[in-house]
């Protein structure tokens, strides 16, 4: 979580990367209020906050503007009856990555405290000094309650997935090394806010570590919060009298919405200016979120009222009243605020009773039968007058970001036309917002005389939809818009997937709507519905061409799909650029069968009695073949052992092959050569274990061997007073072709490989390296007269391996 820092000094943000210090407790606000805006620049903007004689913040370099409206905004002004606390939250900076899947985005989580009246993010992006790095853009997404749902690549989402993309802000880095901007909100929602930052899509070129300096971009978010201490509480049915005396122009209050509140009526009355004329004020109800914000705004003159259906249950609702400019130069505004609720009494405890009955039937117990009968009678009487039918739901935690909701009692849910049926899905755990909420509905039966009746379902956070008429308007509550779906006899199944649902209590309200022909029999109509609700890390486990990955950021866990074989999208269901099965098969065969070009090198090594080199080439060919068979992104895959093990053996065999080949070319004594082979292999194994993809971990053994070979050849040239190797044919027909093939192979491997051409450029690397070994291996020893003589030494046992009888008896 973010850390809060408080001091008693003025706030100053001089340059990118520096930390701001914000005043602790301030009384009221200055005459100019608190201004804020969004802007950018290579050096950032300078903000100075003065503590006396009044609390005042002013921006140097540009005028404050809101990113959502483009106009200047203010929170409050003047007065001595309000105590504000300014807080500063920051998190460690992160290196940004090009976006190809959600795991590339850097996620940050901030918690906004209760009673916050101002929220400001300072978003800063810096670039390391590298003249080769050109202009780029960093995109920051912001969302309340859950990680942002983003789609930078414009891919397709799976069917039945409801997507509402998050608000985003783009920072451009051109010639400057840093850029910053502000994002401001008034009356922000209290709770978790998430930011996700990333760079544009990668170019696809495969970069070798050590051959080029990567472009590094750092993102640093900071959050400033101004909250009100001892905010007035508006109690139900109790008028709250407030006065705004100049220069104060804004007052704040809050209302607690109890559970099972069907409506909230807010009334503002007796609003006067200087106790004479009617006042003109702007009233804002609700908290601001990104996106969208469903705050209710009223322009009132004298008195006004607002009726809200389905307000958020068990939450504080902020109220902001702003005095609009009038004819009086220093007005004193007084007003009364009143809040009243209409309760919706639930029914449906019979579901608990039916559950206990099923337990008693299972266990053969009848001890509590009398009590259950009395309770059933009490429950039946309690159903009368209730406006909703409650259906208890059990939350069953299966794993990390994995929850199953089970209906208590019977497996089917009964839906009646006279009142909605309500199911509570508790997603209030800290990591529930990092998965995907999946809802499936199946209509089993309806009343026989209803015909094609329809069951409408609304899935909403914070509060349910209680009015049947609201289902036609998109399942909208007072401050949020839910998700709707329906089932009927003609279409009995429906499903919905909500990626990254907000951390809150979610409500599934079911409404039975009768056809017009059966309107007279609708009051007693019923429908039975099967409801399956689960929270899974990834929707359908990312499909065939995706891998569901669990990611962590400062203790927060969330999941995402990492696609392969050209498949893209949130759940790897977008196949517009996918590789066909034939392409996958061709890629696998090309990468694996190209290793067969090591067979000529193995044959030449055996023919010339280089058994160690032949063994290393065989090891390399075997593990390179099965590593690439296991490394394929599609379905044409074959893994003979753990992927990491096969990859390590492939890298080890490749480097050791170069090592033993160059030592063999040096033509040193066998004992010294074998010692260097073993010692070098041990050091190579250690080096690759530290970092198998580091270029110098692979090139250093080769350079050491080349230096050793060059020193030995130079020594022989000086000793024999002629070039070594002495034969020009050896140079012209073996060394020059072998070295040329090796150089071309390195160029292809380092500079030409991309994600698009990998399977044939890397296959060409295999072929060039394998053929170069045939040319670079030196000829065998002269005293070895017969080729393949090593084979008789391996299998001759006690037999005479060479016929020397003529020499034995040729004695004179």
Q: Read off the pLDDT of residues 715-738 as tens digits, 9 standing for 90 and up.
A: 988 888 888 888 888 888 999 999
Over residues 106-135, mean pLDDT: 89
Residue of 554, 523, 559 whose CA lies nearest to 539: 559
Between CA 197 and CA 105 the distance in angstroms is 5
Domain ranges of the chain: 3-229, 240-343, 386-536, 581-791
Residue of 473, 463, 397, 401 whose CA lies nearest to 436: 401
To which H or E segment does residue 656 belong?
A: helix 643-666
Over residues 433-444, mean pLDDT: 93
Q: How far is CA 736 from the centre of its chain?
A: 52
pLDDT score for 807: 44
To which H or E segment does residue 621 belong?
A: helix 611-630
Cis previous bond, 76, omega within 30: no
Residue 107 above 80 pLDDT? yes
Give the three-class secondary structure for 266.
strand
Over residues 327-342, mean pLDDT: 83
Over residues 614-630, mean pLDDT: 95
Top pLDDT among 417 and 225 is at 225
Over residues 573-602, mean pLDDT: 92
Tens digit of each residue's pLDDT (9 = 90 or more) over 67-90: 333 333 334 443 334 588 899 999
Residue 535 above 50 pLDDT? yes
Residue 252 above 70 pLDDT? yes
Top pLDDT among 25 and 595 is at 595
Between CA 300 and CA 462 the distance in angstroms is 28
Question: How confident is residue 274, by pLDDT bands cut at 50, 70 and 90?
Answer: confident
Residue located via tokens 């005479």 = 800
Question: How confident is residue 808, by pLDDT bands cut at 50, 70 and 90?
Answer: very low
DSSP label of 161? B
pLDDT score for 8: 34
φ and ψ of 446, to 5 deg: -135, 170
Q: Half-sphere exposure of 768 toward its Cβ, with a 13 Å CA cutoff?
A: 18
Residue 651 above 70 pLDDT? yes
Question: How confident is residue 267, by pLDDT bands cut at 50, 70 and 90?
Answer: very high
pLDDT score for 67: 36
pLDDT score for 795: 56
Over residues 408-430, mean pLDDT: 86
pTM: predicted TM-score of the whole model, two decimal places: 0.80
Residue 364 above 70 pLDDT? no
Over residues 478-506, mean pLDDT: 91
Over residues 215-231, mean pLDDT: 91
Top pLDDT among 684 and 792 is at 684
Over residues 327-353, mean pLDDT: 75
pLDDT score for 179: 85
- Contact yes or no for 228/252 (Cβ under 8 A): yes
pLDDT score for 396: 93
pLDDT score for 260: 92
- Contact yes or no for 576/154 (Cβ under 8 A): no
Residue of 253, 266, 254, 263 whose CA lies nearest to 311: 263
- Contact yes or no for 166/149 (Cβ under 8 A): yes
Over residues 164-191, mean pLDDT: 84
pLDDT score for 461: 92
Question: How confident is residue 697, by pLDDT bands cut at 50, 70 and 90?
Answer: confident
pLDDT score for 470: 57
Mean pLDDT, the chain, whole residue set: 80
Alpha helix positions (H), 723-804: 728-730, 736-747, 758-776, 789-795
Residue of 410, 434, 531 whose CA lies nearest to 192: 434
Residue 12 above 80 pLDDT? no
pLDDT score for 473: 62
How are beta strands 25-27 and 83-90 bridged, if at all?
A: antiparallel
Say if domain 3-229 classifies as CATH 2.60.120. Answer: yes
pLDDT score for 241: 92
State the CB neighbour count (10 A cutoff) for residue 334.
16
**What percent of the chain is predicted at pLDDT more than 70?**
77
Alpha helix positions (H), 417-550: none
Q: Please give the class, per CATH, of domain 240-343.
A: mainly beta
How far is residue 655 from each of residues 616, 629, 644, 648, 761, measured CA to CA in Å? 10, 20, 17, 11, 19
Between CA 574 and CA 570 the distance in angstroms is 8
To which H or E segment does residue 352 belong?
A: helix 350-363
φ and ψ of 651, to 5 deg: -65, -40
In the chain the first and final C-alpha atoms are separated, in Å, by 99
pLDDT score for 385: 56
pLDDT score for 313: 93
Over residues 95-100, mean pLDDT: 93
Over residues 576-595, mean pLDDT: 92
Over residues 588-605, mean pLDDT: 95
The rounded radius of gyration (Å) of the Cα atoms in the chain is: 37
Per the CATH hierarchy, to which homologous superfamily does domain 386-536 belong?
GOLD domain (2.60.120.680)
Residue 42 above 90 pLDDT? no
Strands (E), 91-216: 94-95, 106-112, 116-127, 136-144, 167-173, 178-186, 191-198
Task: Name the least confident of 39-43, 213-217, 582-586.
Answer: 39-43
pLDDT score for 695: 76
- Same CATH topology for 386-536 and 581-791: the answer is no
Residue of 20, 19, 22, 18 whose CA lies nearest to 7: 22
Query: Which structure tokens are listed for 377?
Result: 């009678």
Over residues 696-711, mean pLDDT: 88
Q: Which residues, including other chains, have CB under 8 Å from residue 482's CB and lie 6 or more apart?
A: 458, 459, 460, 461, 465, 474, 475, 476
Going 631 to 632 to 634 to 638, the CA torsion angle's sign is: negative
Tens digit of each residue's pLDDT (9 = 90 or more) over 755-802: 888 989 999 999 999 999 999 999 876 545 455 555 555 555 555 555
Residue 646 above 50 pLDDT? yes
pLDDT score for 207: 74
Query: Which structure tokens are listed for 620?
Result: 């390399």
Instruction: Estimate the share of the chain in helix, then strand, then coil, as percent rounded to the nearest 5.
Output: 30, 35, 35
pLDDT score for 321: 92
Between CA 760 and CA 682 the distance in angstroms is 32
- Contact yes or no for 301/280 (Cβ under 8 A): yes
CATH number of this structure's domain 581-791, picked from the four choices 1.20.58, 1.20.1070, 3.30.70, 3.60.21: 1.20.1070
DSSP label of 115? T
């Amino acid at each position: 979580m973010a850390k809060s820092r408080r001091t008693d000094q003025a706030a100053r943000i001089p340059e990118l990367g520096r930390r701001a210090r914000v005043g602790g407790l301030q009384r009221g606000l200055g005459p100019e209020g608190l201004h804020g805006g969004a802007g950018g620049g290579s050096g950032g903007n300078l903000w100075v906050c003065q503590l006396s004689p009044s609390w005042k913040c002013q921006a140097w370099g540009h005028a404050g503007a809101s990113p959502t409206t483009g106009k200047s905004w203010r929170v409050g002004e003047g007065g001595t009856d309000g105590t504000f606390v300014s807080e500063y939250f920051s998190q460690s900076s992160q290196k940004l990555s090009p976006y190809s899947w959600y795991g590339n985005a850097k996620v940050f989580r901030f918690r906004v405290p209760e009673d916050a009246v101002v929220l400001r993010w300072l978003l800063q992006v810096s670039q390391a000094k590298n003249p080769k790095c050109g202009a780029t853009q960093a995109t920051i997404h912001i969302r309340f309650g859950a990680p942002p749902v983003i789609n930078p690549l414009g891919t397709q989402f799976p069917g039945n997935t409801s997507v509402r993309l998050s608000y985003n802000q783009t920072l451009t880095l051109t010639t400057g090394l840093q850029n910053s901007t502000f994002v401001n909100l008034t009356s922000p929602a209290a709770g978790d806010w998430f930011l996700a930052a990333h760079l544009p899509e990668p170019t696809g070129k495969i970069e070798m570590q050590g051959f080029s300096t990567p472009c590094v971009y750092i993102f640093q978010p900071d959050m400033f919060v101004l909250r009100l201490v001892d905010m007035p509480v508006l109690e139900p049915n109790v008028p709250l009298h407030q006065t705004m005396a100049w220069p104060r122009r804004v007052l704040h209050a809050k209302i607690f919405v109890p559970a099972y509140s069907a409506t909230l009526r807010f009334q503002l009355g007796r609003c006067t200016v200087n106790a004479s004329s009617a006042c003109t004020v702007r009233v804002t109800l609700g908290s601001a979120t990104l996106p969208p914000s469903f705050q209710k705004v009223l322009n009132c003159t004298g008195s006004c009222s607002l009726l809200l259906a389905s307000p958020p249950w068990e939450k504080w609702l902020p109220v902001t009243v702003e005095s609009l400019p009038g004819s009086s130069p220093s007005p004193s505004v007084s007003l009364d605020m009143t809040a009243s609720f209409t309760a919706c009494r639930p029914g449906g405890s019979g579901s608990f009773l039916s559950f206990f009955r099923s337990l008693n039937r299972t266990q053969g117990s009848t001890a509590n039968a009398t009590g259950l009968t009395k309770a059933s009678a009490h429950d039946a009487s309690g159903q009368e007058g209730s406006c909703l039918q409650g259906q208890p739901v059990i939350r069953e935690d299966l794993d990390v970001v994995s929850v199953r909701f089970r209906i208590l009692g019977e497996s089917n849910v009964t839906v009646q036309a006279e009142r909605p049926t309500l199911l509570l899905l508790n997603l209030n755990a800290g990591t529930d917002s990092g998965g995907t909420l999946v809802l499936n509905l199946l209509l089993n039966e309806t009343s026989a005389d209803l015909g094609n009746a329809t069951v409408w379902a609304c899935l909403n956070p914070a509060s349910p939809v209680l009015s049947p008429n609201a289902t036609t308007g998109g399942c909208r509550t007072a401050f949020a818009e839910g998700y709707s779906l329906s089932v009927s006899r003609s279409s009995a199944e429906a499903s919905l997937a909500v990626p990254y649902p907000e951390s809150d209590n979610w409500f599934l309200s079911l409404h039975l709507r009768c056809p017009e022909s059966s309107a007279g029999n609708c009051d007693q109509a019923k429908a039975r519905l099967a409801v399956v609700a689960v929270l899974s890390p990834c929707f359908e486990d990312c499909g065939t061409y995706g891998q569901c990955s669990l990611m962590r950021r400062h203790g927060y866990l969330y999941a995402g799909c990492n696609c392969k074989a050209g498949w893209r999208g949130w759940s790897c269901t977008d196949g517009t650029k996918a590789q066909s099965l034939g392409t996958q098969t061709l890629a696998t065969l090309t990468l694996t069968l190209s290793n067969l070009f090591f067979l000529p090198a193995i044959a030449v090594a055996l023919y010339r009695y280089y058994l160690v080199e032949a063994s290393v080439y065989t090891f390399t060919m075997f593990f390179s073949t099965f590593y690439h068979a296991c490394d394929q992104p599609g379905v044409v895959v074959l893994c003979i052992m753990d992927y990491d093990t096969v990859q390590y053996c492939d890298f080890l065999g490749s480097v050791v092959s170069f090592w033993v080949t160059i030592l063999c070319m040096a033509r040193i004594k066998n004992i010294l050569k074998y010692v260097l082979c073993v010692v070098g292999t041990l050091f190579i194994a250690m080096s690759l274990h530290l970092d198998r993809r580091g270029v110098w971990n692979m090139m250093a053994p080769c350079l050491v061997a080349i230096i050793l070979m060059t020193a030995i050849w130079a020594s022989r040239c000086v000793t024999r007073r002629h070039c070594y190797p002495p034969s020009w044919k050896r140079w012209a027909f073996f060394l020059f072709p072998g070295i040329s093939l090796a150089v071309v192979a390195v160029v292809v491997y380092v500079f030409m490989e991309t994600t698009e051409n990998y399977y044939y450029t890397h296959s060409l690397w295999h072929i060039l390296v394998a053929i170069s070994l045939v040319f670079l291996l030196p000829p065998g020893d002269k005293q070895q007269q017969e080729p393949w003589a090593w084979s008789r030494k391996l299998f001759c046992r006690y037999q005479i391996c060479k016929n020397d009888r003529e020499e034995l008896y040729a004695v004179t």
